[in-house]
Amino acid sequence: MHDQKTTKTNISQYAVLRISGILKIVFLLIPFFTQAQYPASVETNLKKAGSNRPELEKALQYADKTGDDQKIKAMQFLIANMDIHSSSDYYWEDAANKKIAYNELDYPDLEQAKTAFETIKQQNPGLKAKSVIYQDIETIKGDYLIQNLEKAFTTWRTSAIKTTSFEDFCEYILPYRVSVEPVQDWRSTYAGKFKWISEQINLKGFQAALPYVKDDQDSWFVNNWKEKRNEPLPRLGSLQLLFRKQGPCSDIASMNVFTMRSQGIAAAVNIIPFWATATEGHYTNTFYDENKQMLNCDYGTKDFRQNLPREPAKVIRLTYSKNPETLASFEDISNIPKGFLQQQNYIDVTDDFWETTTVKCPLYEKENQPKIVYATTFNGLAWRPFWWGKTDKNETVFTKLCKQTVIIPQYYNQGKLTPAGAPLVVGNTTTKVLQPDLSQTSEVVIAEKEKYLKFKLGITYQLLYWDNKWKILGKQKVTSPVTEMKFEKVPKNALFLFLAGDSKGLERPFIIEDNGERFWF
């Protein structure tokens, strides 16, 4: 028979052991519950963060403690989409590959920063720029995300624009970055510098305030679209924009986003990767007004509210979040041509800017046909990929192509494009396949045209047509003043290019109508 005291002691020991075991189980489960408390997309990125995970968790836990459901969702939104974002930056290193300390923002103005850098160059012979990519998910700190969250919510909830939805807030106000610029702490600086915009909106309304934004920008920021930056910096950081006070249209568009978001106004960058009937591309903005209307603005032009002057190959709008309909969302980027098509954070808004149509495009018969084919536009004397479609029985479908343009479908493999079909003219109501007919030829006269073509002495000109590559029909050198040139045996139903020996890369392809008229693209 057990002693009562001994029994009580055994029971107490058992209870202690049992509680201890339960506590051990609880503590073992804490990491499980901690890891399982966020949506799957957030959990996935926390794992990707590696050693930076505690910083992201710090931001998430802060949002949870606020008890504000919108702040909780907003922070989760940022982190769930963070893995596709990064900064393209650089630093200076000497001949021995040692990093040299230099930050232009440490100086009062750009001129003093340049002077200081010249001294550094003299002290460090062989100085060179070293490109570097910083992945957001591995480098963004918790405190930065927390401050960004609070400042973004303050501006949104006190904005002169009261109608911005939470979804648009997350996409077009909350993000701490616009593109691939270096991440900087910009919200307070921009909020103070551009506070007058909110005051103007309260007085006059949003649309009436926009001209004042344009006038103010023109007074201190230089659009140096012709200048090419030598440094490996695709986009200036938010504070660099205010410091340098100059940049091309891509930087201007980013600056306008920082400006408007600092006032709690939804803003986005629109990218025209290539013009379809001219060289190069362009960047514009879209802002959302008090009536939830999208206002398209181009602060790189004199008339900032004008429509696009010419056909774009595409107009895409940058988002912060991933778009599951992008090619890069399911295709390895190594199989995608370099450019915006390798990104996941954009939407196609071409039809907001130009009349478009969906095109069924025939392809050459081919065994083991690739799954993806690209629409290419002629830009800078080369065919540039700007959209894509899936192949299906020797044809594909390209969506939202601008009317009155010409494309060539091409495959992409290991950095090279190969024709997948003949050129296709996208007309107003129909499409036309340009397969040159060598059995039907005629004489063609290429005449001078004001503002487009002027024959110059000593220059050789050649007429080419496309048949899976540019083929030469004839060459003529100007030895005496002429106003036109004649070429024999020119095939019908072909795409042509008239190229000068001193070309600056501005020539455009064209077709020749039955009446001899040329139609340029």
Write out the DSSP string of 94-108: -TT--EE---GGGSS
For residues 352, 353, 355, 360, the Cα torsion angle rounded to the nearest 10 degrees is -70
Find out whether 424 and 493 touch, Cβ atoms under 8 Å.
no
pLDDT digits (tens, 9 = 90+) for 133-186: 999 999 999 999 999 999 999 999 999 999 999 999 999 999 999 999 999 999
For residues 140, 145, 148, 151, the Cα torsion angle rounded to the nearest 10 degrees is -160
pLDDT of residue 18: 40
Q: What values do phi and psi take at 282, rounded to 5? A: -165, 165
pLDDT of residue 27: 41
Measured CA to CA, the distance from residue 436 to residue 469 in angstroms comes to: 12
Average pLDDT estimate for 441-464: 92
pLDDT of residue 2: 42
Q: Which residues contact 407 (CB under 8 A, 6 or more apart)?
A: 359, 361, 375, 376, 377, 398, 401, 423, 424, 426
| pLDDT confidence tier of residue 449, bands split at 50, 70 and 90 | confident
pLDDT of residue 16: 40
Average pLDDT estimate for 361-369: 94
Measured CA to CA, the distance from residue 244 to residue 247 in angstroms comes to: 8
pLDDT digits (tens, 9 = 90+) for 476-488: 999 999 999 999 9
pLDDT of residue 301: 82
Higher per-residue confidence, 70 vs 300: 70
Closest Cα partner for 408 from 390, 393, 387, 392?
387
Higher per-residue confidence, 5 vs 165: 165
Find out whether 350 and 296 touch, Cβ atoms under 8 Å.
no
Find out whether 396 and 485 touch, Cβ atoms under 8 Å.
no
Find out whether 175 and 78 touch, Cβ atoms under 8 Å.
yes
pLDDT of residue 515: 82
Residue in the structure block whose two tokens are 């006038």 = 215
> pTM for the complete prediction?
0.90
pLDDT digits (tens, 9 = 90+) for 212-266: 999 999 999 999 877 778 899 999 999 999 999 999 999 999 999 999 999 999 9
Map out the domains of the chain as residue ranges. Answer: 1-36, 140-318, 351-433, 437-520
Judge whether residue 451 has pLDDT over 90.
no
DSSP state of 306: P
What three-state secondary structure class fits 80? helix
pLDDT digits (tens, 9 = 90+) for 128-138: 999 999 999 99
**27-41, 71-85, 477-491: which range is least confident on average?**
27-41
pLDDT of residue 15: 41
Judge whether residue 455 has pLDDT over 50.
yes
277's tokens: 């009937």
335's tokens: 């199989």
116's tokens: 């200081």
Find out whether 423 and 431 touch, Cβ atoms under 8 Å.
no
pLDDT of residue 305: 81
493's tokens: 């139903």
Higher per-residue confidence, 27 vs 164: 164
pLDDT of residue 37: 85
Average pLDDT estimate for 411-431: 95
CATH of 437-520, one of 3.40.210, 2.60.40, 1.20.1050, 2.40.50: 2.60.40
pLDDT of residue 302: 79
Average pLDDT estimate for 202-216: 93
pLDDT digits (tens, 9 = 90+) for 304-320: 887 899 999 999 999 99
Sign of the CA dihedral running 161, 167, 169, 173: negative
Closest Cα partner for 398 from 425, 431, 364, 374?
374
Measured CA to CA, the distance from residue 23 to residue 17 in angstroms comes to: 10
**For residue 431, which amino acid is it?**
T
Q: Which residues contact 115 (CB under 8 A, 6 or more apart)?
A: none
Common-topology check for domains 140-318 and 437-520: no
Residue in the structure block whose two tokens are 């004839």 = 474
Please state, as a whole number, how many other Cβ atoms lie within 10 Å of the Cβ of residue 413.
Answer: 9
Judge whether residue 3 has pLDDT over 90.
no
Q: Which residues contact 258 (CB under 8 A, 6 or more apart)?
A: 178, 186, 190, 238, 241
Q: What percent of the chain has pLDDT over 90?
A: 85
Judge whether residue 434 has pLDDT over 70.
yes
Find out whether 77 and 174 touch, Cβ atoms under 8 Å.
yes
CA distances from 430 to 31, 357, 426 (A): 61, 10, 7
Judge whether residue 12 has pLDDT over 60.
no
Closest Cα partner for 356 from 295, 282, 431, 267?
431
Q: What values do phi and psi take at 104, rounded to 5? A: -60, -30
pLDDT digits (tens, 9 = 90+) for 92-124: 999 999 999 999 999 999 999 999 999 999 999
Q: Which fold has domain 140-318?
A: C8orf32 fold (3.10.620)
- Start-to-end C-alpha separation, the chain: 106
- Mean of all residue pLDDT scores within the chain: 92
CA 97 to chain centre: 32
Measured CA to CA, the distance from residue 13 to residue 5 in angstroms comes to: 12
